[in-house]
Structure 1
Amino acid sequence: MTPLDRIRNFSIVAHIDHGKSTLADRLIQSTNTVAERDMQEQLLDSMDIERERGITIKANTVRIDYTANDGLDYVLNLIDTPGHVDFAYEVSRSMRAVEGSLLVVDASQGVEAQTLANVYTAIEADHEIVPVLNKVDLPAAEPERVAEQIEDVIGIDSTDACLISAKTGIGIPDVLEAIVTRLPSPESGDPDAPLKAMLVDSWYDPYLGVVVLVRIMEGTLKKGDQIRMMQTGAKYGVDRIGVFRPKMENMPSLGPGEIGFITASIKQVRDTKVGDTITHEKRQTPEPLPGFKPSQPVVFCGLFPVDSSEFEDLRDAIEKLALNDASFSSEMETSAALGFGFRCGFLGLLHLEVIRDRIEREYNIELITTAPSVIYHIYQKDGTMHELHNPADMPDPSTIDHLEEPRIKATIMVPDEYLGDVLKLCQDRRGIQLDLTYAGSRAMTVYDLPLNEVVFDFYDRLKSVTKGYASFDYQMEGYREDNLVKMSILVNDEPVDALSTMVHRDRAEMRGRAMCEKLKDLIPRHMFKIPIQAAIGGKVIARETLSAMRKDVTAKCYGGDATRKKKLLEKQKAGKKKMRQFGKVDIPQEAFISALKMDD
């Protein structure tokens, strides 16, 4: 068992693309944790989609043995965390399992919005923080300016920040020494006390069942122990214990301060609540660890198979993904236009994209995704409150007292020359400015924004008006009342449930007009004319008419009496009228997909 003062548990926090995973690769490589022949880029990012997009989605862990300059052997437990805002709960729980953080900042880009968010998570968890300036070998790198910026914006002393290039390996020995000398060891932990271990993460392995990542606080965990989860009350027998060097390696036991994994024939990831306390069945610890908030889905959308015969395959795919991702919720729903599918809840738009890509790629199912929506609170006149996930389920407006929508606090960092465009974008999205400060030549603005304006295409618009230079981060702020209405789309006087959305009354007409114009281009022409309308309740606020295809019925009349032509045209008109009454308009699948992408 490793003595406490020789253990260092730390995580790497940074904005997206500042080089967390590459630094983790170099630390693993320079300590010979993995043989040279097994080394590959982004070693800890095991999912294809992580490698392809160059992002980290799941927090990963590795145990490194390191002999320091003082000749002593240390055990370093590294957790590589995601940088993206949608996976912030992965970051927050990883922070609770470790005592220190390496703050990686790109020496050419400087501090970004996500850097701030992740650093504040680390500071809340009482971490010792070591600043690391990465990419110092780039011609555009300005380490002195960025070090000053870290001091100004975050307030962390950066005089002895490590200057490194994770790609080429410059400065990696300094980082290893800094981890040993500047980060604290686990404070206390009695190996003979009753077992108290934190459940940091869990995932499903097809051969072993659920693999649970644990951090031992007190006591010792051995193979064969009977353990109990304190939140769920479930009991299990431990089959395997080990650590990751990134590959699994079995160990006889884990002691205080150590991070490792256990398997215990657990069938479902749902049975393992993240943040739960694990203790011995016979000798229980009196106090459980303070848990942390379960992740709440904030964005909802419907997933439907393009080919309705693939519904069962989609159900299997969603069940398998839910095995590995407890933050993703789903329930069945049906739609008149799209058939059977699922209504799924996600942590944000990137999470939605990742899940959708995984279903399409890993299970070969083509999907239609309906417009993302958020949860609204509906207060009815009798005093009850309901959550509305799908605008199509909105109750009768006469019974509603008022509606509340979720608001977020958004932090946007942007170079000075694009500030005007960003402020205009936020004002257009009903934002309320809370703060505007400067860090060097970059402005940092804080806005209170409605979440439903953000989930649509806010991020894409922000990137396009700032040519990709803005960085954006948000946190949920709660609910506030606003003047919201449900806008329905009617095609040939039939409501299309998949296209109904919640909009602010002031913007309903503009949204409705855009949607009608778009559908007019997308729906193919029929033999009769088709009205396309946007309505709020019984009031039509926008309309387009798709003209009919017509046959020239008077072609065979040459000369003769004009009444004959008139008679034929009247007959055609009557036929078209009858057709419109009984005709069915087919809206092609592409039209749905395009209409739901309101990016123009």
Structure 2
Amino acid sequence: MSQIRNFCIIAHIDHGKSTLADRLLERTGAITEREMHEQILDDMDLERERGITIKSHAIQMDYERPGGEHVTFNLIDTPGHVDFAYEVSRALKACEGALVVVDAAQGIEAQTISTLYQAIEQDLEIVPVLNKIDLPGADPEGVGQQIVDLIGCDHEDILHVSAKTGEGIDELLEAVVERIPGPARNTDKPLRALIFDSVFNTYRGSIVYVRVMEGTLHQGDGIRFMATQKEYDAEEIGHLKLKQVQTDTLEAGDVGYVIGSVKSLQDARVGDTLTRTDNPADEPIPGYQEPKPMVFSGLFPTQSDEFEDLRSALEKLQLNDASLTYQPETSKALGFGFRAGFLGMLHMEIVQERLDREFDIDIITTVPNVEYEVHITEKNEQKKVIVDNPSEMPDPSKVDAVYEPYIQASIITPSDYIGPVMKLCEEKRGKYVNQIHMQSQRVDITYELPMAEVVFDFYDRLKSGTRGYASLDYEFLEYRQGDLVRLDILLNGDPVDALSSIIHRDKAYDLGRKLCKKLKELISQHQFEIPIQAAIGSQVIARETIRAIRKDVTAKCYGGDISRKRKLLEKQKEGKKRMKQVGTVEVPQEAFLAVLSMDDDN
């Protein structure tokens, strides 16, 4: 067992993590030159296009040391963006050590610090790595000092590598063997294996990826999922190389896959513990936390008959992305759909994109919002209601108080951009906590912000305000009381539930006015006049009117008495009045997207 090393790579987005993984695979001979292409572990087109890792990937490598000794590496590549922190937490649970990769030109970023603290909590062995030392703008001394200050290691402990050129990779491989401990070999205990990921195969069912913590699993053994108590047979087990390689046994310390014809997608939950039916473990592996969604949005198919297709697509996607949650909902404007919970805005964007590409389903997304706690008085009784959909907001007359989630945001930025960052945070109702000046002209600014303000466009505006140099990390703090109201949009007097949003009272008037203006541009003219109103409860706070298309009914009257023309106009007026009562207003898809891009017009 001393010949196995399980480790992951921690880094901020775009610090060269996937490129470093490529070099390790090349150097250990896990892939041939013919199979090689950039970011080989990022197997989604979406990951390559955006240059980010979305899924954590596991791969086994065989490393031959200079003395001829053979060591097996299990590398779990992790995402770097704050929205995929849940993927990272599971990967850390399956490892004994972590390579912390820092860009020698950019220095330590917020997400690196956040994930590093998670790794230290899990008691992993940390190996600091300074990447991109070949760049002209690299500052190995300055950034090295940042790492020393953060981790408390010595300068000699930091490995200097260039993932692009391959410089320093041999020293890195040796450091993994020397510094990261091998896993404990508890093969005599009952089987306990952590499921850290799973994928769905149409022919074979759910394929679970496991890290065996204790015990041994043989091919053909009866297996039990401890959370759902469902039982299957391990028809095929094996190791995760570039392709799945079948084997007869997985022992404590191994990372591999298990196929058991698990047809029900809900049985194989990520984070669950796998045990044997003939000698089951007493309790599951501790420390597993359910993902907590932060952003909620409605997903509706553009074609109403695609509802069931959307359901099965979300089921398969949830198996591969355990942090996605959803439940059915209906909307008067959009019909049947689902209320989905995401970890953040990028996560929401990625899910939409994957539904489109992998399952070929066109969807309309409603305004993203967060979960609120609403205290109401009903029949002289006080109750607490959780609201994640604006249409479920209780009547304003019953509401005593509304509590919204707050986060603690850590923003690392060059000191030149302190002004724009603080201005943005103040605009978003932020509360200043402190700022720490780091080395090399960088500042770590901490703010307490309402989550609802962050999910909209905060990240984009932060990046554009600091020319892409700022990095953001956040963690949930608590629920706090706020003066929040539901803003309704009424078309022809009828509320459109899909356009409703929960917003701070001070911003409601401004948003209501902008929204009415935008909808006036987007909704086409009808044969009758359409009032567009923004309202809080029964109070209308903004209005725009789309004028009717008028047919010239007097065109055929030339000459003669004026009363004839008047009679035709009166008849037309009556018709318009009746049409206004029974006519329906068609809302184009762009109108639902308009709410998302509201703040772009500031």
TM-score (norm 2): 0.94
User: How many residues of Structure 1 are paired with residues of Structure 2 in the alignment?
Assistant: 596
Shift of the alpha carbon at 1:573?
4.7
1:530 corresponds to:
530
Moved more, 311-320 or 438-447: 311-320
Q: Deviations over 1:62-110 (max 9, x none)?
A: 1111122344221111110111111111111111111111011111111
Does 1:65 find its partner at 2:76? no
Conserved 8 A contact 2:490-2:534? yes
- Match for residue 237 of structure 2 among 232, 238, 241: 241
One-letter amino acid of the structure 2 residue matched with residue 392 of structure 1 = S
Residue 550 of structure 1 aligns with an amino acid whose one-letter code is R
Amino acid at match of 1:125: Q
Label 1:503 to 1:102 Cα distance change in 2 as closer, same or farther (>3 A).
same
Whether 1:413 aligns to 2:409 is no
Q: 2:472 aligns to what SS in structure 1? A: strand
Q: How many Å apart are 1:363 and its aligned residue?
A: 2.3
Cα distance in 2 for residues equivalent to 1:26 and 1:190: 32
Contact map agreement 1:68 1:180 (CA 8 A) in 2:
no
Cα 1:224–1:365 shift into 2, 3 Å: closer
Aligned counterparts, 1:67-86, within 5 A? 67-86=64-83
Shift of 1:171: 1.2
Match of 1:317 among 313, 317, 324: 313
Aligned to 1:271, what secondary structure does the other structure show?
Answer: coil
Q: Within 5 A, what are the aligned runs for 1:308-457?
A: 308-381=304-377, 382-440=381-439, 441-457=441-457
Q: Distance in 2 between matches of 1:90 and 1:487?
A: 35
CA contact (8 A) 1:153 1:439 kept: no
From 5, 21, 24, give the equivalent of 1:24.
21
Look up the match of 1:468: 468
Give the stretch that moved more between structures: 547-556 or 308-317. Answer: 547-556
1:481-500 maps to which residues of 2 (within 5 A)? 481-500=481-500
Quote the residue 1:140 is aligned against. Answer: 137
What amino acid sits opposite 2:207 in the alignment? Answer: V
Cα deviations across residues 345-395 of structure 1 (Å, max 9, x unaligned)? 222212211111111112222221111111111222223222212111222
The whole-number CA distance in structure 1 between the counterparts of 2:191 and 2:148 is 41
Where does residue 218 of structure 2 map in the other structure? Answer: 222
Equivalents in 1 of 2:206, 2:563: separation in Å?
82
Q: 1:165 to 1:494 in 2, by over 3 A?
A: same
- Quick check: 1:292 aligned with 2:291? no
CA RMSD across the alignment: 2.2
Equivalent residues in 2 for 1:563-582, closer than 5 Å: 572-582=572-582
Q: Quote the offset at 1:533 in angstroms.
A: 0.9
* Deviation of 1:287 (Å): 4.6
Counterpart of 2:94 in structure 1 is: 97
> Given the alignment, which residue of 11, 14, 29 partners 2:11?
14
Any idea what SS the aligned residue of 1:149 has?
helix
Equivalent residue for 1:547? 547
1:272 aligns with 2:271: no
Deviation at 1:568, TM superposition (A): 5.9
Give the distance between the partners of 2:117 and 2:351, measured in 1 at CA: 28
Task: Report the Cα distance in structure 1 between the residues aligned to 2:566 and 2:110, rounded to whole angstroms.
Answer: 70
Which whole-Å CA distance do the structure 2 matches of 1:231 and 1:362 have between them? Answer: 29
SS of residue in 2 equivalent to 1:12: strand
Q: Classify 1:323/1:257 alpha carbon distance in 2 versus 1 (closer, same or farther; 3 Å).
A: closer
**Among residues 116, 121, 127, which one is paired with 1:119 in the alignment?**
116
- What is the SS of the residue equivalent to 2:598? coil
SS in 2 for 1:591: helix
Asked whether the 8 Å contact 1:152–1:439 carries over to 2, the reply is: no
User: Which amino acid counterpart does residue 597 of structure 2 have in structure 1?
Assistant: K
Alignment map for 1:175-214 (pairs within 5 Å): 175-186=172-183, 188-214=184-210
Structure 2 distance, partners of 1:316, 1:213, is 22
SS in 2 for 1:525: coil
Stretch moving more, 544-553 or 285-294 = 544-553
Tell whether the 8 Å contact from 1:519 to 1:595 is kept in structure 2 after alignment.
no
SS of 1:110's equivalent in the other structure is coil
Partners of 2:202 and 2:563 in 1: CA distance: 79
Distance in 2 separating the partners of 1:537 and 1:20:
51
Question: Match of 1:162, as an amino acid?
Answer: L
CA shift digits 1:479-530 (9 cap, x unpaired): 2221111110111211111101001112111111111111111112233332
Task: Verify: 1:55 aligned to 2:52, yes or no.
Answer: yes
Q: Which residue of 2 aligns with 1:231?
A: 227
Amino acid at match of 2:436: T
Alpha-carbon shift at residue 156 of structure 1 (Å):
4.2
Deviation at 1:596, TM superposition (A): 3.7
SS at match of 1:282: coil
Amino acid at match of 1:99: E
Query: In the aligned structure 2, how far is the partner of 1:236 from the partner of 1:550?
Result: 69
Normalised by the size of structure 1, how large is the TM-score? 0.94
Q: 1:43 aligns with which of 40, 43, 59?
A: 40
Residue identity matched to 2:263: K
1:306 correspondence with 2:302: yes
Distance in 2 (CA, whole Å) between partners of 1:173 and 1:269 is: 42
Cα distance in structure 2, aligned partners of 1:317 and 1:286: 35
TM-aligned CA deviation for residue 570 of structure 1: 5.5
> How does 1:509-520 map onto structure 2 within 5 Å?
509-520=509-520
Contact 2:265 2:316 in 1 (8 A): no
